[in-house]
Amino acid sequence: MRPLEGFLVVDFSQFLAGPMAAMRLGDLGARVIKVERPPAGDIGRGLAFGGITEDGDTLSFHITNRNKESYAANLKDQADRDKVLELVKKADVVVQNFRPGVMERLGLGYEELKKVNPTVIYASITGYGAEGPWSSRPGQDLLAQSLSGLPWLNGSGDSPPIPVGIALADIITSIHLAHGVTAALLRRERTGMGGRVDTSLLESMLDLQFELISAHLNDAQVLVRRGPKHTAHAFLQAPYGTYPTSDGYLALAMGSIPQLGDLIGLDALSEFVDPETWWSEQGRITELLAEHLATESTQHWLEILDAADFWCAPVLSLPELVAHDGFQAIGMDQEFTRESAEGAALTLKTTRAPVRFDGQTLTNSKGAPRVGQHTDSIDRELKGE
């Protein structure tokens, strides 16, 4: 039995962060009904990730809406909205990620919904919170990363701002919302109280930078000063970074510079005995390391450093990662299937939920729904038929 089996989630969200949060609840066992406006449905159905589209929907939609049912409803139509309210009456959780005020104008804000379902958990994602000068800006991943200052942490001192190359804000925010919902459900089980859970892309990006922001709040002299080429953290000294080898790249984490020099045969590092120099001479140290490590293969250096338990790792490309025994051993992939409109079976691959319960991984073979695929059956269910 999965932890959230028996709970019903009504998902009004679109694009990525909201659907992913509802997907995570579904991975944990909840039943998720996605409310979509016909005929096109969630705008995310047309937002192609990598240009990949299958059976009329994008790959990202298939992935983030797996294991859901689709209920077609025009929320601006009173008859449809009344049916949706009947669905909400039975819901344990409502998820939405419209801009502030949209759900309220539709008559589906928290204050309205708790009148028909006092114990509902109302979960909302915005771009930048419901108030403040940024509240009406588009809640989009790159924009949230940029406003948070995160791109200034990536790269070396002579690089322009470098955003993280995935939808980091959306993904992390979906985790926070699912976390908040599970906590609210636990509170409800103990007290009978419903409630509201809110988070935003911006808050998630700020939480990622808690070390930097905390340091600056306590000492305004603390600023982002990105290191020289090859460094990988604005606030960690040498050798922390990624370095070219003769056939790839090698990542080095924290460690003693003189010990590293002894291990790899780089005598020039022996002079940096004082750990303070790992900061003050960071540029010189990383330059020496880059020049020396480029003379041999990644595997050559790994064999030496791993034997001494010096913290290091190869920098893998995507094909190298997926082909590696380490990826296979963790069993992070799964397949799911949906029946196409023509009746053919469409099978796709993705990652699974990254948690285990009682030693078991959480996988699900049920694919994303077509728009309104389950409307009729849900209507019959609501009527008790």
Sort strands 195-200 and 121-126 into parallel, antiparallel or unpaired: parallel
Whole-angstrom CA distances from 27 to 5, 66, 308, 354, 378 are 10, 9, 40, 10, 21
Could you tell me if 94 and 12 are in contact, meaning their C-beta atoms sit under 8 angstroms apart? yes
Q: 368, 66 in Cβ contact below 8 A?
A: yes
Note if the bond before 258 is cis, omega within 30 degrees. Answer: no
324 noted as active-site residue: no
CB-CB contact of 371 with 70 (8 Å): yes
- Of the residues 62, 176, 179, 230, which is catalytic? 230
Residues 6+ apart with CB under 8 A from 273: 258
Measured distance CA(64)–CA(160) in Å, rounded? 32
Report H helices in the chain: 17-27, 59-64, 78-89, 102-105, 110-116, 141-148, 168-191, 201-208, 210-218, 257-264, 277-280, 282-293, 298-307, 318-323, 325-330, 375-382
Catalytically active residues, by annotation: 230
